[in-house]
Amino acid sequence: MRARGLLASAVAVLALAACGGGGGASSNGVGSKSPQQIVVAVQSAIRGVKSVHVAGSIVTQGQPITLDLHLVPGQGGEGQMTLSGLGFHLIVTGGAVYINGTEQFWRHFGGTAGATLFKGKWLKAPDTGSFGSFAQLTNLSALFGQISNGHGVLKKGSSTTINGSSAIAVTDTTKGGTLYVATTGQPYPIEIVKTGADGGKIIFDQFNQSVTLAAPKNAIDISKLQGA
C-alpha cells in the first residue's frame, strides 16, 4: 500500500520536532538554556504525558497529509487523517490497527473490489509489519524519542507567543524546522513549522486530557482475508 510509505515519511517529519502545548504562569527556565538543553527538557517533560492532541498538515514526497489525532502513551491513539485528499479514521489499540476509509480511499488503494468490501466498515490489521507505519503515528514514546537522533544543527531563537502560550523557538538549521517550546508550566512542545517543498505545520495541545480508546465492533480481520 503506497500509503505506508507516505506515513513513514510523515513519522520522520513529526519526529524532527515533536510538538505540543504548555500552560501555567511561572517560568520553567528553558528560555535560558541552550538549544540542546531545551530539547532534553522537552524529552523529559514528554515522558510524563498521559495524552496529547496532534493536528496539522505537511507535504511529504509531494503528497499532502493532514492529521487530527489523540495519542495515549502505551495504549495507542485515534483520529482522522487524509492522504492526498483521501480520508480515513484511524484507531490503534490492543496491538491492532483499525482503519475506516471513505469510498474514495478504498477505491484508490483497493480498487473496485476493495471499495465494495470495505465501504462503511472497519479493517483490522496487526500493528506490526505492513501496518507498522500507522501504529508509529500513534506511538508517542517513539515519536518523541527520535528527537535527539533526528535533528541537525540547532539554534535558539527569540521568545514569542504561539497559540496563546509563551514559547521559545529552536530551529534546526540543517533541516529547516522550527520547534516552539512552552516557557511556562511544563516545557511541552507547542508547534513545529517546517519550510520548503516538504513543509507544513503541526500543533500539539490538550495535554493530559481524558481519552478513551475502544476497538470498533465487527471489524474485518485482514489476516482472515489473507488466509482465505
User: What is the CATH classification number for the domain harbouring 203?
Assistant: 2.50.20.20
Residue with cell string 495504549: 75
What's the pTM? 0.83
Residue with cell string 508509529: 136
How many domains does one find in the chain?
1
- For residues 122 and 99, the answer to whether their CB atoms sit within 8 Å is yes
C-alpha of 72 from chain center = 11
CB atoms closer than 10 angstroms to residue 28: 20
Question: What is the bridge-based pairing of β-strands 52-60 and 200-205?
Answer: antiparallel
Q: Alpha-carbon distance 170 to 63, whole Å?
A: 26
pLDDT tens track, the chain, 228 positions: 444 454 545 555 554 433 334 444 589 999 999 999 998 899 889 888 999 999 999 887 788 889 999 999 989 999 999 988 999 999 999 999 999 999 999 998 889 988 888 999 999 999 988 888 888 888 877 776 655 566 789 999 999 999 889 999 999 888 888 999 999 999 999 998 888 777 889 899 999 999 999 999 999 998 877 654
Q: What residues contact 72, with CB distance under 8 A and at least 6 apart?
A: 50, 51, 140, 211, 213
- For residues 138 and 127, the answer to whether their CB atoms sit within 8 Å is no
Domain that holds residue 182: 2-227
Q: What residues contact 52, with CB distance under 8 A and at least 6 apart?
A: 20, 70, 71, 140, 204, 205, 206, 207, 208
Q: Alpha-carbon distance 194 to 14, whole Å?
A: 10
pLDDT value for 144: 65
Cell of 139: 506511538
- CA distances 75 to 33, 92, 93, 109, 114, Å, are 33, 8, 6, 27, 29
Q: Alpha-carbon distance 137 to 10, whole Å?
A: 8
